[in-house]
């Protein structure tokens, strides 16, 4: 190659390199992969805890279970030990249908006013009867009347229990009427609400009558129904 050709070649290389540097010429490379832009949609499930105290009983526990099954709902039953002893098959049925069975003491005393020995007996005897029907030892304790304080919580914790009360009280035990029970259950409900009703301790026909409307309305509002385990 003559000196003129070598000079021309060097000039062309410099020209090409300069063009690439300023972007006039694009060198071949891997094709860019398009990344679709997707909007992040965050949906938070809404749920409530339906809880029933003072059972099991006849015929109300069985009626409530039938309604819960019809609406695909589950609940937490805080049961009294003496009633479990009287209606063991009901407790077994509550558990077998996917509901949670928890401790509501043996005979429904105010736990703030009992001795340490009585507290222990009230809770552990109830545990034993519930475990005989379910194979499960309750981890939640609901003090009767919702009466609790630091001493009750401390004694419960020593027995492996967490105290659980409620956020919405329908006061259905007073038999105020079906429509009143419905209104009280739904008035201030939000995700995470704990709704208190009863399947024992007296005539619970109004509670049974109110339950379908409560379930239907909550489902229409987008709520699901979950159970307590206190694990």
The CA distance from 225 to 99, in Å, is: 10
Which token pair is 63?
Answer: 């009626």
Q: Which of 153, 148, 183 is nearest to 169 (CA)?
A: 183
Catalytic residue among 54, 104, 198, 199: 198
Catalytic residue among 53, 54, 127, 172: 53
Query: What's phi and psi for 30, nearest 5 deg?
Result: -65, 145
DSSP 2: -
The CA distance from 201 to 145, in Å, is: 12
Q: Which of 212, 69, 229 is nearest to 161 (CA)?
A: 229
The CA distance from 3 to 190, in Å, is: 89
Active site residue 198: yes
The CA distance from 80 to 103, in Å, is: 7
Q: Which of 212, 124, 211 is nearest to 160 (CA)?
A: 124
The CA distance from 190 to 168, in Å, is: 10
Active site residue 53: yes
Residues labelled as active-site residues: 53, 198
């Amino acid at each position: 190659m003559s000196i003129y050709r070598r000079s021309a070649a060097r000039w062309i290389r410099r020209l090409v390199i300069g063009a690439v540097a300023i972007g006039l010429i694009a060198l071949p490379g891997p094709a860019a992969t398009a990344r679709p832009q997707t909007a992040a949609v965050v949906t938070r499930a809404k749920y409530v805890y339906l809880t029933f105290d003072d059972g099991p009983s006849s015929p109300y526990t069985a009626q409530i279970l039938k309604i819960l099954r019809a609406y695909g709902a589950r609940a937490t039953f805080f049961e009294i030990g003496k009633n479990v002893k009287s209606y063991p098959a009901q407790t077994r049925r509550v558990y077998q249908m996917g509901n949670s069975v928890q401790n509501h003491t043996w005979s429904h005393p105010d736990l703030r006013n009992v001795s340490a020995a009585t507290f222990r007996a009230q809770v552990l005897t109830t545990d034993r009867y519930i475990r005989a029907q379910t194979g499960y030892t309750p981890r939640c304790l609901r003090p009767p009347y919702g009466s609790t304080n630091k001493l009750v919580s401390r004694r419960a914790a020593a027995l492996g229990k967490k105290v659980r009360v409620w956020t919405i009280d329908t006061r259905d035990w007073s038999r105020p009427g079906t429509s009143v029970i419905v209104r009280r259950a739904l008035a201030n409900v939000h995700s995470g609400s704990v709704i208190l009703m009863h399947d024992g301790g007296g005539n619970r026909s109004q509670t049974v009558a109110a339950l379908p409307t409560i379930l239907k309305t909550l489902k229409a509002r987008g709520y699901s129904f979950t159970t307590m385990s206190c694990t």
